[in-house]
């Protein structure tokens, strides 16, 4: 039963579907650490910049914050929010990459390290070119 489950789980369509579902759920989990833990130190290093408050006001009037501009209905280009989303995407993509890499390792059969000598039936390394007991040339076989 384990073998059949392993074959089912490693098939491409199941993995693709799982990645999509996990990615959607994981994206929500990553948003908070990115906005609350990663972006504040980056903003501090770059001169106390709050990325979520970076925007270009297209109305020509001055607003003290993005929230004030949105409340006034001013058209804005919110490039700070875009940067936060790009960082979210990169983190989620990297974690999903690591998960898929582990799934692929799980499903990949491990090649045998030994084989049987066809002449003396002893166990020998796969790369052996001569039988240790019978001294037969194994390259010809």
Q: How confident is the model at residue 78 (pLDDT cuts 50, 70, 90)?
A: very high
Q: Which residue has the tokens 């009037």?
A: 61
Compute the distance between CA of residue 87 and CA of residue 43 in angstroms, rounded to an integer: 13
pLDDT > 70: what percent of the chain? 79
Q: Which residues of 78-106 are buried (b: 16+ CB within 10 A; e: fewer)?
A: bebbeebeebbeebbeebbeebeeebeee
22-73 tens-digit pLDDT: 767 766 776 677 777 777 787 788 777 677 788 899 988 999 888 899 999 9
Q: What is the pTM of this model?
A: 0.52
pLDDT at residue 140, rounded to an integer = 52
Would you list the DSSP string of 40-75? HHHHHHTTS--GGG--EESSSS--SSHHHHHHTT--
Task: Tell whether the model's pLDDT for residue 75 goes beyond 90.
Answer: yes
Compute the distance between CA of residue 76 and CA of residue 52 in angstroms, rounded to an integer: 13
């Amino acid at each position: 039963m384990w073998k059949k489950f392993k074959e089912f789980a490693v098939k491409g369509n199941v993995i693709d579907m799982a990645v999509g579902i996990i990615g959607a759920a994981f994206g929500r989990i990553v948003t908070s650490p990115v906005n609350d833990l990663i972006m504040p130190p980056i903003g501090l290093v770059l001169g106390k910049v709050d990325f979520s408050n970076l925007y270009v006001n297209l109305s020509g009037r001055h607003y003290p914050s993005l929230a004030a501009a949105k409340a006034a209905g001013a058209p804005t280009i919110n490039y700070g929010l875009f940067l936060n989303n790009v960082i979210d995407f990169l983190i989620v993509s990297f974690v999903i990459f690591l998960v898929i890499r582990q799934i692929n390792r799980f499903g990949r059969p491990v090649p045998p390290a030994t084989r049987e000598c066809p002449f003396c039936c002893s166990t020998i390394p796969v790369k052996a070119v001569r039988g240790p007991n019978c001294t037969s040339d194994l390259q010809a076989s």
